[in-house]
Amino acid sequence: MRKRKSKTRYLIMGLLSEGPMSGYDIRRITLERFRFFWSESFGQIYPELRRLEQDGLIARLEEKDTPRHKKRFSLTEKGMEMLRQWLLSPAETEQMRFEVLLKCYFSYLAPKGTILNHVKDFRRRYTDVLNQLLVIERELQVAPDSFNNHWYVLATVRLGIKTYRAYLSWAEEILNEFKEDPR
């Protein structure tokens, strides 16, 4: 038997633990809060919601007069159980795939200065996300801690901040070294 590998269900159940929401909400919140270390598309979310409901891990709310087409789900006891189980097991090793580093590595085969474009592009992208993370950090520090989980949320945000600062510091170093000794 093959081990289930997709983590989509845990993301969904995790979010539902904060209260009922729809597939569309899940997508939106994932973009807002997890963009820096996670991504999901509708093509995964909606079919997974159906499966989770079939398995009794989430339940459709019976609501009349929902705004628009909204179909909201809540986490069941069984679902919370499974979520807790997953939280106790160790995480899988992350597989990195940085195309930009592949390009940097082989840039010596291309015209002089090719690597600079990649490094500058990299720097620009991570300058943007770093700024977004700093905004989120400040917001978290002043917002009321309704779920008593801000310390946890801030932990993930701060890993992002440290990581992207390291990225930017690297980019500066490369650009400086190149300026001193262009290749």
Partner DNA sequence: TTTGGCATGTAATCCGTTACATGATTAG
Partner DNA sequence: CTAATCATGTAACGGATTACATGCCAAA
Is residue 13 within the footprint of DNA (CB under 7 A)? no
Q: For residues 110 and 136, give the distance between their C-alpha atoms in angstroms, rounded to a whole number.
A: 39
**Whole-number minimum distance, CB 48 to DNA, in Å?**
9
Number of residues near DNA (by CB under 7 A): 28
The residue from 19, 31, 37, 42 that contacts DNA (CB under 7 A) is: 42
Is residue 180 within the footprint of a copy of itself (CB under 8 A)? no
Which of a copy of itself, DNA, none binds 114 (CB below 5-8 Å, type-dependent)? a copy of itself
What is the three-state SS of 78-133? HHHHHHHHHHHCCCCCCCCCCHHHHHHHHHHHCCCCHHHHHHHHHHHHHHHHHHHH
Angle between helix axes 99-106 and 114-142 (nearest 10 degrees) is 150
Is residue 31 within the footprint of a copy of itself (CB under 8 A)? no
Residues of this chain that bind DNA (CB under 7 A): 2, 4-8, 22-25, 39-44, 46-47, 49-50, 67-72, 95, 97
